[in-house]
Amino acid sequence: MIFIRPRRSSRSNRPTPNRTPRASLPATHTNAAVIGDREVAIVDPGTADAADLAPLYEVVDAAIAGGGRVKAILLTHRHRDHLLGAHAVRERYGAPVWGDASIADRVKLDHELREGDSLDFPGPHARRLVAYASPGHARSHFVFLEERSRTLIAGDLVSTLGTVVINPPDGNMGDYLRSLERIRALRATVLLPGHGPPSRGADHLFAALLEHRRARESRILRALAGGPMAFEALREEVYKDTPGAAPEWSARTLEAHLEKLVEEGKVRREAERVTLAK
C-alpha cells in the first residue's frame, strides 16, 4: 500500500485552484491512496491539474508495469476535492469509477458503492479492501478498510489536522458521531485521512474526536442553562475556547450540533432563538 499527498504547485507557494475548499482549512492538500502491487486501486484522485496528477501517475505506472492494471478508482464522497481527477485517471487507465449513487451528478459512475463491497489484490502481499458506509460529513461518505494491514482509508471521516466540518443539510452530526463509533469498532491500526499525515494511533484519534464533539455539545447545553440565547450569541459563547475559528464554519458546525440536539428533544429552536427543551 502506498500513500500519496499530491504536491503543491511549483509555480507559487499558493494552493492550486483544485485544492481543498475553505471548509477543509488548514488543509492545503487532498490525499490519494494506491492499494496493491501489480493490481491496484486508486482512492480519491482529488485534482484535475496535470502537474498534481503526475506523481500519482508515476506511482501507479511503476506498480502496474509488466502487465498489471488499475482495478478501480474509489471515491470516498461527493466533495469536489476528492473526485476532480476521476475522469482524467479513468481516461488514462481505463478503470471503472466506484462511488455512492449520489455522486453520479458530478462524475460518471461505473459501479454504485454499497456496504460490504470489496476488492481483492493478489500478489506477494495480498490485500483485501472492504467498503463501509460512514455518513455524517456527507451522506455519500464511505471509508475503505484494508483487512490484512488493518489500514483505514478514512476520507473526510477523520482529519489529522483538526476537526471535520459537519455542514447541514448534507452533513449530519448525529450520523457523524454514529459513524465514528461504528468505524472505530473496526479496530484499524493505521489511519490514512483525506487531509493531513497518516496516523498509527487510530483508536486514540477516534476517541479524541468523539470526546471533542461531546465536549462541544456540553458547552452548548451549559450555555443554554442560563436561559434562551440568540444563535449568534450562543455561537460566540460556545466557541470562546477557539477564538481563531472562522465564524462561518463555527456557525455551520453549531447548526449541526443544534440539529442533533433538537432531534433528541434536548433543545428547541424558535426563529433565531435557542432554548433548552422543558
Nearest-CA neighbor of 16 among 50, 62, 67?
50
At 200, is the pLDDT very low, low, confident or very high (cuts 50, 70, 90)? Answer: very high
Rounded to whole angstroms, the Cα distance separating 167 from 179 reads 15
Helix (H, G, I), strand (E, B) or coil at 64: helix
Which of 3.60.15.10, 3.30.70.20, 3.40.50.300, 3.40.640.10 is the CATH number of 2-200? 3.60.15.10
At 211, is the pLDDT very low, low, confident or very high (cuts 50, 70, 90)? Answer: very high
Angle ∠(165,262,250) on CA atoms, nearest 5 = 25
What share of the chain in percent tops pLDDT 70?
90
Check residue 28 and give its pLDDT. Answer: 62
Angle ∠(170,160,237) on CA atoms, nearest 5 = 65
Rounded to whole angstroms, the Cα distance separating 134 from 39 reads 26
Angle ∠(230,208,4) on CA atoms, nearest 5 = 110
174-185 average pLDDT score: 98
Nearest-CA neighbor of 76 among 43, 34, 38?
43
* Residue that is written with C-alpha cell 461527493 in the block: 78
What is the rounded average pLDDT for all residues in the chain? Answer: 90
Does residue 13 surpass a pLDDT of 60?
no
Query: Are 236 and 242 a contacting pair, CB within 8 Å?
Result: no
pLDDT digits over 229-261, tens only? 999 999 999 999 988 888 999 999 999 999 999
270-275 average pLDDT score: 91
User: Which residues, in sequence order, are bridge partners of residue 130?
Assistant: 118, 145
What are the boundaries of each domain within the chain?
2-200, 202-278
Per the model's pLDDT, the better-predicted residue between 194 and 28 turns out to be 194
Nearest-CA neighbor of 25 among 130, 164, 145?
164
Backbone dihedral region for residue 228 (phi beyond 0: left; psi -120 to 50: alpha; all else: beta): beta
Check residue 217 and give its pLDDT. Answer: 97
- Range of weakest confidence among 108-112, 130-134, 269-273: 269-273
Rounded to whole angstroms, the Cα distance separating 48 from 61 reads 18
Does residue 17 surpass a pLDDT of 90?
no
pLDDT digits over 68-95, tens only? 999 999 999 999 999 999 999 999 999 9
22-35 average pLDDT score: 68
Rounded to whole angstroms, the Cα distance separating 71 from 263 reads 42
Check residue 29 and give its pLDDT. Answer: 82
Does residue 20 surpass a pLDDT of 50?
no
Query: Are 143 and 135 a contacting pair, CB within 8 Å?
Result: no
Residue type present at position 226? G
Q: Which fold has domain 202-278?
A: Arc Repressor Mutant, subunit A (1.10.10)
Rounded to whole angstroms, the Cα distance separating 150 from 188 reads 5
Fold: same for 2-200 and 202-278: no
Check residue 77 and give its pLDDT. Answer: 98
* Dmax (CA) of the chain: 69
